[in-house]
Amino acid sequence: MMDQYKVKVLKIEQVTHSVKRFTIEKPEGYSFIPGQATDVSINKPGWEDRKRPFTFTCLNENPYLEFTIKIYIEHHKVTEQLGLLVPGDELIIRDVWGAINYKGPGVFIAGGAGVTPFIAIFRQLYHDGTINGNRLICSNKMHEDIILEEEFRMMLGDRFMNTLTREDRQGYENKRIDQHFVNKYIDDFSQHFYICGPVPFIDSVKKAMIQLGAKPDVVVIED
């Protein structure tokens, strides 16, 4: 049976208009690899068994755990309830499991909140001085939806690119990530590609990569 840990919420911060950062207690001996996730539920009556998977966005060496979560108030489900929490409330976390497995330098492509599994990976690479050779391309509807834009730009410089599908803004692309987009901005299809986002987004981008010459084994998606 999977272990469970009841942990207190230490801090909650607003990251974007719809994304919050939750800093929580770290159980003794608990560890993870950047890109891994755990199943989370809220320790309140009726919500203890309603689990949702979230990726850790801190470093393993931090004395706390952190999740960066998009709050969907219109769904009336777990993330809406997470959005109502205050410091001192409790979450239930379980054992870690593999999500995005970093295999080496390449291009990370994220749709919306799909960037969250990449946060700890990039933070670890930056911390270790091994971030060179990696790029990040994010697709969002509007500029206000971009998660941790300043931090990614600090870590990656011009290797961080954004495209906005519902806003024409100077300095940003204004198109969807499709085969034409991929062919325009990527010229080496032998490197690793890490894709995360809604399932239709993942399927579409993966298909475009393979059609343009990437071998299936270099395309990494969530396990």
With DSSP H G I counted as helix, E B as strand and the rest as coil, what are the percentages for the chain, rounded to 5?
30, 30, 40
Give me the percent of the chain exceeding a pLDDT of 70: 99
State the pLDDT at residue 162.
Answer: 97
State the pLDDT at residue 191.
Answer: 95
Rounded to whole angstroms, the Cα distance separating 210 from 85 reads 42
H or E element that contains 116: helix 116-128
Work out the average pLDDT over 196-218. Answer: 93
Burial of 11 (0-12, 13-18, 19+ CB in 10 A): exposed
- Total count of residues recorded for the chain: 223
Q: What's the mean pLDDT when you consider all of the chain?
A: 95
Give me the percent of the chain exceeding a pLDDT of 90: 93
Tell me the pTM.
0.95
**For 132-145, how does the pLDDT look when each residue is reduced to its tens digit (9 = 90+)?**
999 999 999 999 99
State the pLDDT at residue 160.
Answer: 98
**For 87-128, how does the pLDDT look when each residue is reduced to its tens digit (9 = 90+)?**
999 999 999 998 788 999 999 999 999 999 999 999 999 999
**For 40-84, how does the pLDDT look when each residue is reduced to its tens digit (9 = 90+)?**
999 999 999 999 999 999 999 999 999 999 999 887 799 999 999
Helix, strand, or coil here: 146? coil
State the pLDDT at residue 75.
Answer: 73
